[in-house]
Every structure is written in C-alpha cells, then in structure tokens.
Amino acid sequence: MTEQLRLMAVHAHPDDESSKGAATMAKYVSEGVDVLVVTCTGGERGSILNPKLQGDRYVEENIHEVRRKEMDEAREILGVSQEWLGFVDSGLPEGDPLPPLPEGCFALEDVDKAAGRLVRSIRAFRPQVVTTYDENGGYPHPDHIMTHKITMVAFEGAADPEKYPESEFGPVWQVAKVYYNQGFNRARTEALHEGLVARGLDSPYGEWLKRWDESEHVERNLTTHVPCADFFEIRDKALIAHRTQIDPDGGWFKVPMDVQKELWPTEDYELAKTVVPTSLPEDDLFAGIRDNA
C-alpha cells in the first residue's frame, strides 16, 4: 500500500456519527486509517431526549453550544477528526398537517450550492470511501434526506472541474466508493430479538418489528458487513457523550454487550457507488481499494 487510506463519514447532526457506524470508524482508526466526520448542521433544533436533562434551563437556552461540546468529546473518544459544514438544523416537523420547514434551514438549501461545501471538504481530505444515508435518510428526517442528496451530488461533483471549478473548490478528487449506513436492518434486529427471547431476557425490539410489519417495511440490500465487535464499547461511550440526545439507562443499551458481540458482531452497509471492482458481499469498506492505494 503506497497511499494513506482515508474514510469520510457524512452525517446530519452531532450524535449521528456515534449511532451509525461508530464502531467501524473506531476499528479503522485503530488500523491507521485517517477518518473524518463531516457534520452538516449544529443540531440547533434537536430535542433534549435525555429525561435527566429535560427542564435544564442552561441546556435548553444553549443547546447549540452544548451539542458542540458533546461532539468534541465524542470525537476524542472515537479518535476521528471532525468538521462542521455550517448549515442550520431543520428540526423534525410534527403534526397533521406537517408545518412548513423553518426559513434558512439545511433542508431548504439549494442542493447543488449546498453540495459545494462538501465538495471542498472532499477535495481537501481526498477520501477513498464516503459513508452517508440512503435516499430515505435512514429515517425520514429532512436533514438526513438532504444529507443524502448533497453527498451524492458531491460524489460526482468532486471529480467534475466544470461544475465545481478548481479555482474555487480545490483540485478535483475521485471518491472510489460510497456506502449507505444500514445498521438498523431487519436481519440484525430479528437476530438480537430472537437471541434475547431465547435467553429469557427482555427485548427492546419487539415493538420495532411489529411497527415494521404494520408499515410493510422494505429491507435494503446489505452488501458489506464490517466485523467491529471489539469496538462496541467505544461506540457506546461516544454515544453517551451526547448527553442531551441519549438516556444511558434507556432501551438503546438494554442488550448485554456479550450478547451483541455474539449475535451480531458487525456493522452493516449498502454499497451505493463504486468506481473500483469489488466482490460482494464484502467485509471491508476498502475492498478493491487496498491493493491499488
């Protein structure tokens, strides 16, 4: 291998990097891969989901600053670099009918213009691999869907000096592979649920599976399973650093660690774009790249 391997993970909000692919990133950091998290928004409109912090006036009035500090801590735990694209959180619209999105928010930005910021980051960092969300955002949050849109435009645009001139956006760079995070997949959920039930333990996944059945949940194509069980503890520690967004006593952490490692020791992805040959299924995001780097 003659060139440093680099992985870029593009996420919508601070905390997304710790709940989607965090163990994978920690694994690659341990192997010497340069990993950069790009966070599109500051999470300014995120709800305080940890009941222990709900009603905390300082946190409520300084949520943007608090979430930046949480991101700093999570970044250190994972061992990654991180940068902000600087867009404003759109919030999650609720109600029937849904209210309009707030003016100036990320989801209302012009896609090509917004993608230009990510093009600059890609051309500066020069990642061989980029991870992001599928066209549904993983779940239909407007910022997650917008993150998908700008990432796919930036994948093409980073290699296009006509659409994004080098004089403004830096020297062109061809990303080799783009993956969608698919950690919340049915196969994993069923394996954990059935394994917990067989052990006589409570499962937090029964309601998930029921909702999926009722909504005719469509499963994605899982192409890549990265073994990273040794880094699940680091993943959880990074997620807990986002104190406003996660209850350390909540359902997220109900599955014993040894059970997780035994039943589903991978994080899972969908290969969305590649310009290098590879053989599916994969166990490495850099499959097809390492030999040619």
* Structural domain spans, the chain: 6-185+222-292, 186-219
With contact defined as beta carbons under 8 Å apart, do 130 and 122 qualify? yes
Q: Is the dihedral of CA 121, 125, 129, 132 positive or negative?
A: negative
Q: Is 193 annotated as a binding residue?
A: no
Q: Is 13 annotated as a binding residue?
A: yes
Q: Cα–Cα distance between 45 and 53 in angstroms, integer?
A: 16
Tell me the two tokens of residue 174.
């061809």
Give, in words, the CATH class of 6-185+222-292: alpha beta
- Which residue, among 239, 273, 256, 260, has the nearest Cα to 25 in the 3D structure? 239
With contact defined as beta carbons under 8 Å apart, do 82 and 37 qualify? yes
Q: Is the peptide bond before 97 cis (omega within 30 degrees of 0)?
A: yes
Q: Cα–Cα distance between 102 and 28 in angstroms, integer?
A: 38
Strand order in the sheet with 224-227: 81-87, 34-41, 6-11, 129-132, 177-181, 266-274, 224-227
Q: Is 242 annotated as a binding residue?
A: no
B/e letters for 147-176, b = 16+ CB within 10 Å, e = fewer, are: bbbbbbbbbebbbeeeebeeeebbebbebb
Looking at the DSSP bridge assignments, the partners of residue 267 are 226
List per-residue pLDDT tens for the chain, 293 residues long: 447 999 999 999 999 999 999 999 999 999 999 999 999 999 999 889 899 999 989 999 999 999 999 999 999 999 999 999 999 999 998 888 889 999 999 999 999 999 999 999 999 999 999 999 999 998 889 999 999 999 999 999 999 999 999 999 999 999 999 999 999 999 999 999 999 999 999 999 998 899 888 887 778 999 999 999 999 999 999 999 999 999 988 878 889 999 999 999 999 999 999 999 999 999 999 999 997 65
